[in-house]
Structure 1
């Protein structure tokens, strides 16, 4: 909402010395958010005056153009009182007309400095101005197009034109929240200024209006639920060629709308002034009485923008005997449009309920200025005053007269009283607010207040449909006391509560990964088929079966992701591309797997049954919490100590191992083949017989598709699954002060047997004395045999109550080797 200060000052006694910056600050503190401050015309300077054209001599030129050599009376503005000689290429004025002249030394928007210069054989001492040259947009201020032709009584030659044309003004632009629709008018903004400065407010809607009678234009309202008030006034003998007065056109323009014609400008002006949208009909084009009703199936309307629109039965229409002539509250119809031949104007000022207008505007994609106000809520008491104001301005500047007939149907709905404990504003805000302040502040915003004991009853003003419950009234009081006065006090933590089990586990996971050198990131969870192609997923892969979004941000990524890896891989590539030698990133987030069950569409007229709710819940996709990680580039940095080490599949598997230890979960690892990992360097993880994720080296084609270094590694596991398996009581490590006994063993096994499987077997066979099993060497070659490999393990034994003997450790080692031989055909190397 753009509010010219010269306009709002007409309705409020604001001291002249108050700056626009201070006004903006005060209104922002009251809840009208400042969007911008503008000073149109402040880039112009110098003599800009009213001039009277004395003579104009047409002079054809060799280039086919005809210029006018003009003599213009500018009074004493030029210092001599003599007529000013000016060359002008426009032809829409004549001797005797009053025009706007900028004299040498003046500066127009651009900046464009004006000086006396020789052109077309004459010395032109100034310029006769058009609206466009003065920064006023198009030529709407001109009666004939081109040069501005002022009314005969606009002033005398030499008078200053800045004030005459309202060229210098200050405009505050606000971002209006939906609950403050009253501020979409000069009336509302001025009321807020009066509240901010505690000064007098003059309501432009307070005017004596004639009562309704039977002589007005006939109207019937069939949809009274959507249109409780409908008022019409008729202006006859209107001059459609009459120009908009300069001040009115300028104000409409400063408020952000285009000046079009007097009739249209007046309806826009009153809408901006009072907040009630107005519409005008050409009476000669109306066929029979006006009827307000719902649309019927198959009906169409051609709106003012020339579009043919198919109507919905929920649309509220303005009709006559010819059919629809307007989308109520949104846009008028082309068939009854005001035109350059309109001499009788029927002015409509109605009240429409917000929800219907909102849905119609969205349905037809017509976000008009009128619909913007209706859908937020308009003062229902305004129609009679708004129609009377429009009729007054049309007659004053367009001639004719207001017909005696007044149509006035319905009345404004009554406001619902709100009961409020007097101490509620203080309890909610934490401020010291006494009962007298609560009462005074609510009266200041227009409420009718009655206090009985420790309670207050307030009837909201009709321009505040947003005030519906006690806490709305609390906000009105607190915003006047001052949001900046509200103390910053941390609420006391309730006793007996803390983090949930899931919160504690997620924090442990995050700390563990941070300790391993990984950095957390958050990526967009949206993917498309191209993303799955880059991951190398087969056409029938379960990850390609994703939830399609109804309104995606991008048509190329219409699915909610089933994997966290795409966002992580792109983040890693972005960081490496900007110079990072290596990255280690992780993300925790939900993925979605559809259930292929159609969700029922439930009504809002009643509470759903248990069966309907269950059907709705059954259609909700499964959304487990996943953990993803990617390691690429250098894992150990290069330096003076030597060459660094690149990230590999061992690092990815190690991330899951470390988490399993931290969460005290026994995890089993097996070799696997799963896109997007390398088929020979991928591990899958189990708890018992339940698989919960994969880790390993990415496939070379995937690395190339995401522009990552070769042999980059990634992890993705179901974190919800892993956390559910974590015990509530963490197992503390067993500590012993007795020395450790060391035994090494080398076993020859099949080349495709995972070392982790062998290690688990050794640990099981060695029994409870075994403290750890660690692989420290892998050998493949002639000595191991074809299709075989040698795995060397370091076994560590320790007892909690004694020093182990050589016999005990030897027996434990032998038992471990024997079990490996039995299960895997392992042969011990000497």
Structure 2
């Protein structure tokens, strides 16, 4: 928020310089991000009046001006500005003046004619980007007056970074109220005296949605002059606060919003047809806004309707149909209290923001609505003329301000200082908080403009702010160094990260909220958990998997010419689950398990001379998954997966551990590879962290001194027979068949198919590692074991030995 210092000091003017004031605000929680002067340093510029203008004899675009600078004699100035004219008052940089950029003015000669200074534009003085001509000044300014004094350029704009809970400070008066509380400076009392009611015109208003609008006030003002010029002082304050001047009626509304924090809206009364209704919008309705944007509405957006025509988005922005213009004669002034929950996030849904919605979604004072209406009406009558009708004020459903208690002992414990009862009472009085005290317990009723005071800690924060954070001693906490027991049978998440990093993966942390299209494309989730108030329109739903974020990381790096990317993430995913109930770490109906996902794309290894370059493939990542599971990898099985929306149907698999599906691994589906313009497919995996945690401890055992025996066995098997099923059958049989107990390992080392053969079978060659830890194996025992293996395969799968 931008605050003009002179405007702030007009409301509360403490005996502090700018630096001291901004420090005090920052230490009270209103962080000052910067202080910028209204105009850069310059000197020697005065108000001057052009008395005569003549054409330069030697230049078509130059003119010779005779200028009165208050010195008693006219100065000759050669000027090329197109708007130089007799009788106007303009800035004059006299001889010896120094303009922004250290530009010094001296006596000069232009095309043979002497010039004793320079007439200036706003851009040359550094106060505006306008450079089309001379800066024309108010004719009431005194000739010879220093321009910095005349235009009040020795002023500063203070930029305050407000936290979202401090909506009460989104105005000059709100910040001044804080300054007064911090410094005991007197606070200006605004004149809210009702204006004379000279007409009895009203407009019937029916508020149908009291959960949208808790209070609605309106007033008819007739006979206004909408072509009146906005006063320079109002323009200057609006511009300093980041607002551009539009027209007198709009400027008055914006000015009061900046000064008092009260967004209001002015309708052109002659464009309103019928009575006004305040309700929730209906599906299929639309509205053209003041910014020219046409928005499609639904039942979650509030609207103001005149007859059957939607006139504005409630608390957000008015409509084009009833906007005031220079031709407006009669206006309807609206001021209301809109519930923050009914406004929050609505503007972002339409991809814009407004000053009104920024305030209403944080909470606006609901008590002083009519007082502020009187204030803005007085400005309209003074600057535009007209006659005002009575205020139609409907109080419908105001928020309940529940008392909040502060225990003095609790306050002292939290702050770590012995703040006294008298100090707390004084602080609450300075803040304008109404309270009672009994037995060292303060009961405070939050005022209508403080939506951030709800619990005891909020009051403790108020005490700390006004007492001064810099007055609270910096005492380091004393924490006993007690070793906590750890469960060594549970694998830590840090260990999982170490394993992934050791395999060349880099950890990333992505948002838990993602694009809705990602959920549909990568997870097949057409009903994701939607956010009520997303930080951005595209980040509107909670993720049910980590894969989409990793693919986005790869796409980002691929566009920046990276040729190898390996990333992983360990984080929570979110899905609907009716069996989950509210708890300390749970939310009803939402399951939030931890997942670990990885994605690899590009070269399998960094480019090098000793190894041919190749792209990463399914089996590279499958091995990474097995390494991640450690000893448990022996119990992993990979089952072909054909129906995952994100994965290639022929190059992906479910990961199964002890009969339970714990994740998946596979290439990205060609559709998404093409959509994201990747030159080859990433390989991704995602597993549950719970399946990684429960790992058996390593059990030491003596290494056998007996030699191992290697035997190969090749069989003809159908093309559709999964290799894993052959290995699984032997591993299961080895627990029951004594002859198979000597098998230590089985590896597939060759797959071959005769290209000329039309038989749907292939040759699978397996290498068996055999060993008895106690005795040397004899040939007969080895042959007996291999014969048993072949017999099991023939019986279960119908294979034949090659």
TM-score, scaled to structure 2: 0.73
- Structure 1 partner of 2:335: 350
CA distance in structure 2 between the partners assigned to 1:775 and 1:29 by the alignment: 69
CA distance in structure 1 between the partners assigned to 2:753 and 2:288 by the alignment: 85
- Structure 2 partner of 1:14: 14
Contact 2:349/2:537 (8 A) holds in 1: no
- Structure 1 partner of 2:193: 209
Residue 48 and residue 661 in structure 1: after superposition, are their counterparts in 2 closer, same or farther (change >3 A)?
A: closer
* TM superposition shift of 1:458: 1.5
* 1:160 matches 2:146: yes
* TM superposition shift of 1:81: 4.3
Contact 2:196/2:388 (8 A) holds in 1: no
- Structure 2 partner of 1:817: 786
- Structure 2 partner of 1:31: 29
State the Cα deviation string for residues 360-398 of structure 1 (Å, max 9, x = none): 8678877443443334333345445545544655676x4
Residue 793 (structure 1) aligned to one of 750, 768, 776? 768
- Structure 2 partner of 1:377: 363
Q: How many residues align?
A: 763
Residue 691 and residue 120 in structure 1: after superposition, are their counterparts in 2 closer, same or farther (change >3 A)?
A: same
Contact 2:746/2:768 (8 A) holds in 1: yes
- Structure 2 partner of 1:259: 245
- Structure 2 partner of 1:605: none
* TM superposition shift of 1:75: 1.6
* 1:54 matches 2:23: no
CA distance in structure 1 between the partners assigned to 2:22 and 2:791 by the alignment: 85
CA distance in structure 1 between the partners assigned to 2:318 and 2:556 by the alignment: 55
CA distance in structure 1 between the partners assigned to 2:152 and 2:144 by the alignment: 17
Which structure 2 residues correspond to residues 211-230 of structure 1 after superposition, within 5 A? 218=202, 222-223=206-207, 226=213, 228=215, 230=217
Report the secondary structure of 2:770's partner residue: strand
* 1:453 matches 2:422: no
Residue 546 and residue 488 in structure 1: after superposition, are their counterparts in 2 closer, same or farther (change >3 A)?
A: farther
- Structure 2 partner of 1:772: 744
* 1:666 matches 2:635: yes
* TM superposition shift of 1:215: 5.7
CA distance in structure 2 between the partners assigned to 1:346 and 1:709 by the alignment: 62
* TM superposition shift of 1:274: 2.0
CA distance in structure 2 between the partners assigned to 1:496 and 1:150 by the alignment: 75
CA distance in structure 2 between the partners assigned to 1:264 and 1:132 by the alignment: 26
Residue 547 (structure 2) aligned to one of 535, 542, 564? 564
Which region of structure 1 is more displaced relative to structure 2, 790-799 or 179-188?
A: 790-799
CA distance in structure 1 between the partners assigned to 2:145 and 2:601 by the alignment: 77
Contact 2:192/2:375 (8 A) holds in 1: no
Residue 287 and residue 773 in structure 1: after superposition, are their counterparts in 2 closer, same or farther (change >3 A)?
A: closer
- Structure 1 partner of 2:464: 478
Report the secondary structure of 2:364's partner residue: coil
Residue 395 and residue 732 in structure 1: after superposition, are their counterparts in 2 closer, same or farther (change >3 A)?
A: closer
Contact 2:48/2:91 (8 A) holds in 1: yes
* 1:735 matches 2:701: yes
Contact 1:2/1:256 (8 A) holds in 2: yes
Contact 2:550/2:598 (8 A) holds in 1: no
Contact 1:773/1:796 (8 A) holds in 2: no
* 1:87 matches 2:74: no
Report the secondary structure of 2:465's partner residue: helix
* TM superposition shift of 1:294: 5.1
Residue 817 and residue 696 in structure 1: after superposition, are their counterparts in 2 closer, same or farther (change >3 A)?
A: farther
Root-mean-square deviation (CA), in Å?
Answer: 5.9
Contact 2:278/2:304 (8 A) holds in 1: yes
Contact 2:39/2:126 (8 A) holds in 1: yes
CA distance in structure 2 between the partners assigned to 1:788 and 1:695 by the alignment: 26
Residue 381 and residue 88 in structure 1: after superposition, are their counterparts in 2 closer, same or farther (change >3 A)?
A: farther
Contact 2:519/2:543 (8 A) holds in 1: no
Contact 2:370/2:391 (8 A) holds in 1: no
Contact 1:129/1:147 (8 A) holds in 2: yes
- Structure 2 partner of 1:249: 235
* TM superposition shift of 1:201: 3.0
* TM superposition shift of 1:452: 1.0
Residue 90 (structure 2) aligned to one of 71, 74, 99? 99
CA distance in structure 2 between the partners assigned to 1:695 and 1:159 by the alignment: 79
- Structure 1 partner of 2:730: 761
* TM superposition shift of 1:150: 3.7
Residue 523 and residue 796 in structure 1: after superposition, are their counterparts in 2 closer, same or farther (change >3 A)?
A: farther
CA distance in structure 1 between the partners assigned to 2:120 and 2:47 by the alignment: 10
CA distance in structure 2 between the partners assigned to 1:701 and 1:281 by the alignment: 52
CA distance in structure 2 between the partners assigned to 1:528 and 1:324 by the alignment: 30
Which region of structure 1 is more displaced relative to structure 2, 744-753 or 329-338?
A: 329-338
CA distance in structure 1 between the partners assigned to 2:122 and 2:217 by the alignment: 38
Contact 2:5/2:158 (8 A) holds in 1: yes
* TM superposition shift of 1:621: 9.8
- Structure 1 partner of 2:67: 72
* TM superposition shift of 1:256: 0.9
Report the secondary structure of 2:187's partner residue: coil
CA distance in structure 2 between the partners assigned to 1:230 and 1:158 by the alignment: 49
* TM superposition shift of 1:58: 6.1
CA distance in structure 1 between the partners assigned to 2:277 and 2:595 by the alignment: 54
Which structure 2 residues correspond to residues 273-422 of structure 1 after superposition, within 5 A? 273-279=259-265, 285=270, 315=302, 317=304, 330=316, 348=333, 350-355=335-340, 367-383=353-369, 385-390=371-376, 398=383, 407=391, 409=393, 416-422=402-408
* TM superposition shift of 1:49: 1.0
Residue 270 and residue 92 in structure 1: after superposition, are their counterparts in 2 closer, same or farther (change >3 A)?
A: farther
Residue 40 (structure 1) aligned to one of 16, 31, 38? 38
Report the secondary structure of 1:54's partner residue: strand
Residue 274 and residue 637 in structure 1: after superposition, are their counterparts in 2 closer, same or farther (change >3 A)?
A: closer
State the Cα deviation string for residues 210-248 of structure 1 (Å, max 9, x = none): 488686654655439536463759697x77666444333
* TM superposition shift of 1:798: 0.9
CA distance in structure 1 between the partners assigned to 2:647 and 2:164 by the alignment: 51
Q: Decide which structure has the larger Cα Rg and report it.
A: 1
Structure 1 stretches lacking a partner, 5+ long: 533-541, 600-607, 609-613
- Structure 2 partner of 1:190: 176
State the Cα deviation string for residues 516-558 of structure 1 (Å, max 9, x = none): 56554456797999999xxxxxxxxx97844476799898999
- Structure 2 partner of 1:603: none
Contact 1:518/1:585 (8 A) holds in 2: yes
CA distance in structure 2 between the partners assigned to 1:590 and 1:700 by the alignment: 27
* TM superposition shift of 1:446: 1.2
Contact 1:231/1:384 (8 A) holds in 2: no
